[in-house]
Amino acid sequence: MKTKWEVIVVGAGPAGMACAASCAEQGMGVLVLDEQPSPGGQIYRNIERQRDKVLAVLGQEYLRGAGLATRLRISGAEYKPLSKAWKVESNGRVCFSENGSSREVQGKRVVLAIGAMERPVPFSGWTLPGVAEAGGVDAFLKSDGLVPQGPVAIAGSGPIMLLVAGHLNKLGVEVNSFFDTTPSLSVLSALPHLLPALRRVDYLAKGVAMLMETRKSVGQYKRGVSHYEAVGAEHVTAVVAHKHGKATTVPASTLLVHEGIIPRTEFTRQLRLAHKWDGVQRYWYPDIDEDGRTSLPAIFVAGDSGFVHGGVAAELKGEITALAIAAELGKGGAFNEKRQKSLRKQLAHELLTRSFVDAMYSPRPNLSAVDDHVTVCRCEEVTAKTIRALVSSGQTAPEQVKAVSRCGMGPCQGRMCSSSLIEIMASETGKNAQDLPPLNVRPPVRNIGLGELANATLLPHNAAQKSSS
Amino acid sequence: MKKVDCIFIGGGLMGLASALFMARDGKKVLVLDKDCTGKHASGVNAGGVRSLKRDIAELPYIHGALAMWHNMEKIVGSDCGFYQTGYLIAAEDDQAMRELEQRAAQTRELGYDNEMLIGRDRLRELAPIVREHCVGGIMSVKDGHASPAETCRAFHAALVGAGGVVHNHCEVVGIDPGENGFCVHTTSQGKLYAEQVVNCAGAWAGKLAHMIGDTLPVEPVGASVLVTARMPRLLHPFVAVQGRKLWFNQARNGTLLICGGYLADVDMEKGLTRMNFHELQACAKVAYDLFAVTDDITIVRSWAGLDGETPDHFPIIGYSNKVPGLFHVCGFSKHGFALSPMVGQVVSALLQGKKPEVGIAGFEVERFDRVSDLVASNPIPHENCGNLSNYK
C-alpha cells in the first residue's frame, strides 16, 4: 500500500464521502480510513447493501446516501474499510489499525470527518442492560435489521427521538411511553430564530408532522418531564419519569434516551488544537474557518465533527473543504470558485432552521443534577459524589479531577464522561463551562494491542516534520 | 509587600514537600507555579516507589523516604494512594544473576538489608508472566506504588494547612537578587520578596537558573508510559529484567503500566510532551519479548511527564555557588518522585541552616563547574547544556 497521499480523509459519513470523492475527482490521490465495514457513516450506515424492509422504514432521506457512496466508489479514492485511525500528527501523518495490524501513512492534507455522537448523560440506572441511546437503535437497524425488545420507553429531548419513534412505529415495535424533557420555556428562546427558519417551511412542516405522528403512535406522550431513571436488577424492567415532583412508573424492557448530539473531537483534542464552547448546545467544538481549516496547515475538519449541522450540511461542508484543499494544492479547476460560492449558498440555506432547532432543543439545565451515587465514568467507575468532593476540596480544572479520580482515564478516554464531567464541575463551581477546558486525549485514540504496536510499520521519525504543501 | 522566608519556584513535589516542612517549622513560605501544582513530572509519572537497585548515592534518601511513604497518612493526612507491592528484577541468565548477587552483596555491606535474592521458583510464583527462561532475581519487599496525582494534591493541601501559600498560574518573569534577599517579578502577583529563593522548577530549572544569573546543566526530558486496559491480576510487584529497558507494573485497578525511560518529544514552547511512537514501539517490543501474556493486552493510552535531567542523571541539591541565597533542588532525571518526601525534609533543614538527616555530598552543583564555566564562556544557549557529552 502507498504510504504517501495528497489527502487522507478519516471517516466516510456524508462529509468524508463528499470530501474524498471531490478530491479524487479533481485528480488528487486520496486515502479514506473508515472504521465501518462500508461507506455511509452513522446516518447512511450500510446504505450499499440495505434490506428492502429497512429501506422502506428509513425512507428517502436515507437513500440520499446511496448516491454519495456510489460517487465515492467510482471517484478513484482508495477506500479502506474497518480501518481505525488511532493517532493524527500535526504534520499530516496518520497511524491506523486494520485487521489487527497498524501502519503509518502520510498526507499532505488530513481531513478529520469523524462526525458526531449522542451526548452521553448519566442518570440513575443508565448502566443497566436494556438502556441505550436512541440513535444507537437506528444503528442496529441499519447494520443488522435488529429491533429493540418491547415494551420500549423513549426519554429525553431532540428531533432524533421523534425520528426513532417513527421508525419503531413502522417496524411494529411497541413504544409505550415517550417522556419529553424539552423545557416548555425553550420555545421562547427559540422564537427569535423563527424568522429565518420560516424560509424552510418544508423542514418545519416535516418536524410538526413527525411530532403529530409520534403523539398518535406512542402509548403515552408526556411533556415537561424534568428527569428520568431506569430501574431493574439485571436488566431494565421499568422507567420512572419525574414531572412537577410527581413520579410515573412504566414497565419497559428497553429505555432509549437521547439528549442531543455533540461533535466528536478526540483527534482535534489529541492534536491540542484550539476549541470553542457553544453556549446553546453546550459542547466544545474545534476552532475552524468556513473551509474547515484548523490552525495547523495540514489538518482540516469537515462535517459534524466541526459543528453539528446534520447530514446534508455535512455533505456540503465536505465538498467545500475539498475545493479549499484543491486550491491549496494547485489542483483546482476553472469553475471551482463559482462552485465554492454556490456550495456556500446551499449550506446557508440548509442552516436556516438550525439556530431555531438548536435553541429549541438546548440541553435542559438540570442535566448535571444527577444523584451522588450515579456513576459518571463507566470505565473507571467514578461517581458524581467523587467528582463533587474533589471540586469542593479545591480542584478546579477538569484535568486535575481526572488525574486524582481517574474519571476519563479508561479505555474510552472520556468519550462517555468528559462532557458530563464538565457540566457537573460547572454547576458545582458556578463557573461558566467555557472556562473548563475539555480533557486532553492521548494517543492511541483507539485501543490497540501491545503486540500490534510492537509490530507496527511506522514512518521514520523526524523526517517530514513540516507539512509540505 | 511583606517579605517571606522562602519562595519556591515550581509547584512540583520537591517544592511542595520542602515548603511543607519549612512551614511546619514556622517559616513563611510561598510556592509559585506557572501552571498548577503537580502538572508535570510530579503528577505525571508511573508512581513507583523503588529502593531496589537505586544508585548507591541515593540509598540514604530512598530509605528515609520509604519509611515516610509507609507513614504518609500521618505526614500529609492522606496515604497518597501508596501501597506495598514490592519491586523485582529478574535475571535472564546466570551472568545476569551474578550481577544481581554482586549488587545485593554491595548493599548488604553498606548496611541495607532490603534487597533479597530469589530463585526461579519464587520468581514464577511472584511474577508468573515473566517468560520462562528467567533464572531468578532480586527483590525488595518494602517498595511500592503511589498515586502521583493524589500525592501532589495531598502535599498541596498539607502545605496550605500548615500556613504555606500556593499561587497557581503565577509565572516568574524576573528575579532581582539584592543585599537583603530577592525580589521576584511575577505575572499574576506582581513583585514578591523573599529572604531565599528555591529553584525547584523541574524541566524549567535550567531556564530559571539562567534568568537569575546562574548556569545549570538541566535539560527538559519526557519519560513515556504505556497504559493498558484493566486486566485480571497478573502480578503484584513492579517487575524489570536485568540489563533491559523495561518496568512492568499492574496498578490496583488492574491496568498495566509499561515504561522504562522511553522518551517523548518535548515542546518547551508550549510546555508539553508529544508521544514518540518509535520509542513506545521499542518499549512494546521489549515487553513482548519478556512477558508471556502480551497478545491480549490492549493499550488504551500513553503519556509522558516533563522532567529535568542532568548529564550524570543525579539530582542537584544545594546552594548556588554564584548567587547567594539561591538554592537548587532539581534535575531528578525521571526518578525523583519516590525521593521527594525525604528531599523535602533535607532541603527544609538546609534552608534553615540546620543539619539535615542525610547529607547532600555528591549532589552539589559544583560537580558541574567545569561544564558551567564552559557554557558561561561560550555563547551556547542554556538549552544545550545537557548535550555536552563525555562529562565526568
Which amino acid, A411? P
Phi and psi for A320 in degrees, rounded to 5? -60, -45
CB contact under 8 A, B299 and A397: no
Question: Is A453 at the interface with chain B, CB within 8 A?
Answer: yes
Identify the closest residue of chain A to B298 by CA–CA distance.
A449
- Inter-chain CB proximity B284 and A447 less than 8 Å: no
Q: What is the DSSP letter of A174?
A: -
Whole-number Å distance between alpha carbons of B243 and B241: 6
Q: Are A441 and B301 in contact (CB under 8 A)?
A: no
The CATH number that applies at residue B22 is 3.50.50.60
Tell me the residue range of the domain where B233 lies.
Answer: 87-141+220-309
The beta strand positions in A407-454, using DSSP E, are 448-449
Q: Same domain for B327 and B197?
A: yes
Of the two residues A4 and B294, the one the predictor is more confident about is A4
Q: Across all residues in chain B, what is the average pLDDT?
A: 90
Q: Which of A300, A311, A295, A150 is nearest to A219 (CA)?
A: A150
Alpha-carbon distance of B183 to B191, in angstroms, equals 6
pLDDT at A462: 63
Q: Do the domain assignments include residue B184?
A: yes
Q: What would the pLDDT profile of B159-209 be if each residue is shown by its tens digit?
A: 999 999 999 999 999 999 988 899 999 999 999 999 999 999 999 999 999
Q: What percent of chain A has a predicted confidence (pLDDT) above 70?
A: 98
Pairing of strands B238-241, B87-91: parallel
Phi, psi dihedral angles at B176 (to 5 degrees): -105, 115
Average pLDDT over residues B110-116: 93
pLDDT value at position A210? 87
Domain count, chain A: 3
Q: What is the pLDDT of residues B119-152, one digit of tens each?
A: 999 999 998 888 889 999 999 999 999 999 999 9
Look at strands B255-267 and A375-377 and give their pairing.
Answer: unpaired
Q: What are phi and psi for residue B111, nearest 5 degrees?
A: 100, 10
Q: Is A95 on the interface with B (CB under 8 A)?
A: yes
User: Across the interface, do A444 and B276 touch by the CB < 8 Å criterion?
Assistant: no
Domain residues for A75?
A: 4-116+262-333
B109 and B242 co-located in one domain: yes
> Any chain B CB within 8 A of the CB of A411?
yes
Lowest mean pLDDT among A66-75, A185-194, A249-258, A448-457: A185-194
The verdict on B247 and B326 lying in the same domain is no
Please report the DSSP string for A317-338 in residue order. HHHHHHHHHHHHTT---TTHHH
Q: Per the CB < 8 Å rule, is A454 touching B288?
A: yes
Residues A321-339 pLDDT 10s: 999 999 999 997 778 899 9
User: What CATH number is associated with residue A410?
Assistant: 1.10.10.1100
**Quick one: A216 and A304 in the same domain?**
no
Candidates B153, B280, B295; nearest CB to A451: B295
Tell me how close the Cα of A270 comes to any Cα of chain B, in angstroms.
10
How many Cβ atoms sit within 10 Å of the Cβ of residue A193? 18
At residue A206 the predicted structure's pLDDT band, cuts being 50, 70 and 90, is confident
Per-residue pLDDT at B144: 95
Question: How are the residues of chain B apportioned to helix, strand and coil, as percentages rounded to the nearest 5?
Answer: 35, 30, 35
Q: Is the pLDDT of residue B320 over 70?
A: yes
Residue B100 has, within 13 A of its CA and on its CB side, a CA count of 27
**Residue range B207-260, pLDDT digits in tens:** 999 999 999 999 999 999 999 998 888 888 999 999 999 998 998 889 999 999
Whichever domain contains A84, its CATH number is 3.50.50.60
> Are both A68 and A83 inside the same structural domain?
yes
B-chain residues near A87 (CB < 8 A): 275, 277
- Nearest-by-CA chain A residue for B282: A454
The Cα–Cα gap between A107 and A85 comes to 13
Structure confidence at residue A195 (pLDDT): 86
Average pLDDT over residues B81-98: 95
Taking only the tens place, the pLDDT of each residue in A351-391 is 999 999 999 999 998 888 999 999 999 999 999 999 999 99
Q: Does B55 map to a domain?
A: no
Q: pLDDT tier at B386 (50, 70, 90 boundaries)?
A: very low
Contact (CB<8Å) A444/B301: yes
- Asked if B228 contacts B38 with a C-beta cutoff of 8 angstroms, the reply is no
pTM (2 decimals)?
Answer: 0.91
> Tell me, what's the pLDDT at B294?
67
Whether pLDDT at A431 is above 90 = no
Query: Which residue in the set B270, B276, B297 is minimally distant from A450, CB to CB?
Result: B297
The strand pairing partners of A88, in sequence order, are A94
- For residue B374, pLDDT over 80 is answered with no
- Looking at the fold, whether B227 and B305 belong to one and the same domain comes out as yes
Q: What is the spatial distance between Cα A220 and Cα A250, in angstroms, rounded to a whole number?
A: 10
Interface of A with B in 269-308 (CB under 8 A): 272
User: pLDDT class for A467, splitting at 50, 70, 90?
Assistant: very low
Q: Which pLDDT does position B129 carry in this prediction?
A: 86
Instruction: Say which residues have a Cβ less than 8 Å from residue A88's Cβ, sequence separation at least 6.
Output: A10, A94, A110, A112, A267, A270, A271, A299, A445
The percent of residues above 90 in pLDDT, for chain A, comes to 75
pLDDT digits (tens, 9 = 90+) for A140-198: 999 988 889 889 999 999 999 999 999 999 999 999 999 999 988 888 888 888 888 88
Whether residue B288 is predicted with pLDDT greater than 50 in this model: the reply is: yes
Last residue of a domain, one of A234, A259, A284: A259
Tell if the CB–CB gap between B277 and A87 is shorter than 8 Å: yes
CATH number of residue B229's parent domain: 3.30.9.10
Indicate if the pLDDT at residue A446 is higher than 90.
Answer: yes
Q: If you measure CA to CA, which chain A residue comes closest to B146? A: A404
Determine the pLDDT at residue A92. 97
Last residue of a domain, one of B309, B338, B353: B309
- The residue type found at A63 is L
Residues 13-42 of chain B with CB under 8 A from chain A are 36, 38
Chain B nearest-CA distance from A78, in A, is 26
Q: Is B150 on the interface with A (CB under 8 A)?
A: yes
Answer whether residue A286 shows pLDDT above 60.
Answer: yes
Cell numbers 470527518 correspond to what residue? A113
pLDDT of residue A464: 38
**Residues A182 and A313 occupy one common structural domain:** no
Q: Which three cell numbers stand for residue A456?
A: 507496527
B41: left (phi over 0), alpha (psi -120 to 50) or beta: alpha
Strand partners, B295: none
Domain identity same for A190 and A273: no
The verdict on B210 and B344 lying in the same domain is yes
User: Which range has the worst mean pLDDT, B5-14, B36-45, B60-69?
Assistant: B36-45
Chain mean pLDDT for chain A: 92
Give the pLDDT of residue A201: 87
Copy the grid coordinates of residue A74: 467510482
Sequence-distant (≥ 6) Cβ neighbours of residue A388 within 8 angstroms:
A372, A424, A428
Contacts of B295 in chain A (CB under 8 A): 449-451
Q: Which of B279, B288, B298, B303 has the highest number of chain A CBs within 10 A, making it the mutation to test binding with A? A: B298
Cis peptide bond upstream of B356, omega within 30: no
Alpha-carbon distance values, A130 to A138, A148, A255, A256, B96 (Å): 15, 9, 6, 8, 55
> How close, in Å, is residue A413 to chain B by CA atoms?
8
**Alpha-helix residue ranges (DSSP H) falling in chain B:** 13-24, 59-69, 72-76, 94-109, 120-126, 148-161, 205-212, 277-290, 340-351, 369-377
A408 touches chain B (CB under 8 A): no
Q: What is the pLDDT of residues A41-90, one digit of tens each?
A: 999 999 999 888 899 999 889 999 999 999 999 999 999 999 999 999 99
φ/ψ of A274, rounded to 5, equals: -70, 140
Determine which of A13-22, A285-294, A305-314, B289-298 has the lowest per-residue pLDDT on average.
B289-298
Residues A208 and A255 in one domain: yes
Shared domain for B361 and B319, answered yes or no, is yes
Is A268 in the same domain as A226?
Answer: no
